[in-house]
Structure 1
Amino acid sequence: MDTKSKSVVTRSMHSTGPRAIGLVCAVAAAGALLAGCGSGTDKGAGNVKSGPGSPAAASGAASGAADPAAATPSGSPSGSPSGSPGGSFTEDQAQRKALIPKAKVGYDKALDTALAAVPKSKAVAVELDGNDGGRPTWDTEVATADGTVHTVRVDAASGKADKPSVKKDQDKDDKTQLADQLRKATVTVQQAAQTATGKTKGTVSSVELDDTDNGTPKWSVDVVTTSDWNKTTFDVDATNRKILREHVDKD
């Protein structure tokens, strides 16, 4: 065996070990130094910096991540209820807001005009309508003792009324039922409206005579509040003025 050659191989193997270890240590030290510089930690605080220009901010910008808080502008109405200050109105609320201020004649005056146009009649229904080109009109219904309904359209701005017309889709049973309701209803339409507005301040936009499940007549009264343009419907017992139901329509 060539001992000289073996000695050379041995020296080569021994010299390679320390050099490789030294290289690994150098790489590890450099990595630790870079990690320490790029971590953005505050000396003594241990908290990662998140301010503008910090590595975290740069990383977020590079990855295209968005700040969730910045996605919704301050003061956005997205979280506010419909009709609230700063919020948006629903279609119905917007229609009420546009129509009701135009009505210079109230529901009661409109009914008085209709009752005067049909002798010996009683109020059945009245509703504010804006379908005639946005012009406010009270659609009223009054009935004679036999239950025959007459409709009268009253201009809600001027108070002028069209000629009464007999409702055509009534049959004998309809007339008999309505005549019975009118006999039992000891509470007037004005009293029912006063009961409703006594609970919720606002403008009466509709009143209608109906009956409950047990046959007792009731007045359904719609009251619109001008602060949010919501509509509240009250069912008022037409025999004792008790409120049977109250429902707020925010649509």
Structure 2
Amino acid sequence: MLTKRDDSTSECALPVARCVGLICVATAAGALLTGCGRADDNAAGATAVQAAELAPMSPSASAPTSASASMSMSMPPSASASGGNLARDQAERKALLEKVKVGYGDALSAAVAKVSASKLVSIELKGGSKGPRWEAEVATADGTAHTVRVDAVTGKADQAQAETEQDNDDRAKLADRLKKATVTAQQAAQTATDKTKGTVTALELQGTHGGTPEWSVDVVTNGDWKKTTFGIDAVNRKITREHVDQD
């Protein structure tokens, strides 16, 4: 006996399989298109980034500003303050002299007033933690020397201190030097500043090999703060030497 075959399952199965296949193909195609779209977007983004990197920076960009700030910070303080670079010695002289209120002349008078009948042997402006001061050496006619410190701001002079390291020979030589020197410290300073305008920062009566005493005078010029040292004959007041310290 023959049994009738039910083909409904087969007939339905085939279309379903075909539908599933078509859906898969469509999905794959969609994914491909989406992938292509993303690739295009990525390519476009990369192109935009490259264009931005290659484009010239605008004037308002931050890089030049940062560079300018860096250059400004690297400039030496002395260059911005004075319009030019100063050597260390020049900067120190400038800083010291800007604090001084009492010049060498007043300091000299205050120093010799501390020792009766004395004359100036040397005076020099110095700095320190307590402020600027004049360190002076004065001596009597017999060559006995004393040191006196004078405040370069107030003009107050400390008590004179006798020189403890002098022997008889030292006193005799100093007495002879003072006797021969007919040019005063003030006259020597005037001769030096007539040649170079500036501030006297040191004076010293020195001996020479020829036996004629000589004044050594330091003058600092304002503006460049260089020091010029003069040799002034202590008898005829002539300039014997002149040296400019370039530092």
Which residue matches 2:25?
none
CA distance in 2, matches of 1:100, 1:134: 15
Which residue matches 1:145?
141
TM-score w.r.t. the length of structure 2 is: 0.66
CA distance in 2, matches of 1:112, 1:86: 37
Paired-residue identity, %: 62
TM-score w.r.t. the length of structure 1 is: 0.65
Which residue matches 2:228?
232
Counterpart of 2:203 (choices 195, 200, 207) is: 207
Matches within 5 A, 1:10-89: 86-89=83-86
CA distance in 2, matches of 1:96, 1:102: 10
Which residue matches 1:47?
none
Structure 1 residues not aligned, in runs of 5+: 1-72
CA distance in 1, matches of 2:75, 2:238: 38
Which of the pair is proportionally richer in helix? 2
SS at structure 2 position matched to 1:177: helix
Which residue matches 2:156?
160
SS at structure 1 position matched to 2:127: strand
Which residue matches 1:104?
101
The reply on whether 1:121 has 2:118 as its aligned counterpart is yes
Root-mean-square deviation (CA, aligned residues, Å) is 2.2
Equivalent position amino acid for 1:89 in 2:
L
CA distance in 2, matches of 1:101, 1:138: 15
Deviations 1:99-138 (A, max 9, x none): 012111111111111111100101100000102x161100
Counterpart of 2:214 (choices 207, 213, 218) is: 218
SS at structure 1 position matched to 2:98: helix
CA distance in 2, matches of 1:135, 1:227: 22
Deviation at 1:225, TM superposition (A): 0.3
CA distance in 2, matches of 1:155, 1:178: 26
SS at structure 2 position matched to 1:117: coil
Deviates more, 1:133-142 or 1:219-228: 133-142
Deviation at 1:77, TM superposition (A): 9.4
SS at structure 1 position matched to 2:172: helix
Which residue matches 1:182?
178
Q: Which aligned segments of 4 or more residues in structure 1 are displaced greater than 6 angstroms? A: none
SS at structure 1 position matched to 2:113: helix
CA distance in 2, matches of 1:250, 1:87: 15
Equivalent position amino acid for 2:180 in 1:
K
Equivalent position amino acid for 2:188 in 1:
A
Equivalent position amino acid for 2:87 in 1:
T
Equivalent position amino acid for 2:114 in 1:
A
Structure having the higher Rg: 2
Deviation at 1:87, TM superposition (A): 3.2
Q: Alignment length, in residue pairs?
A: 173
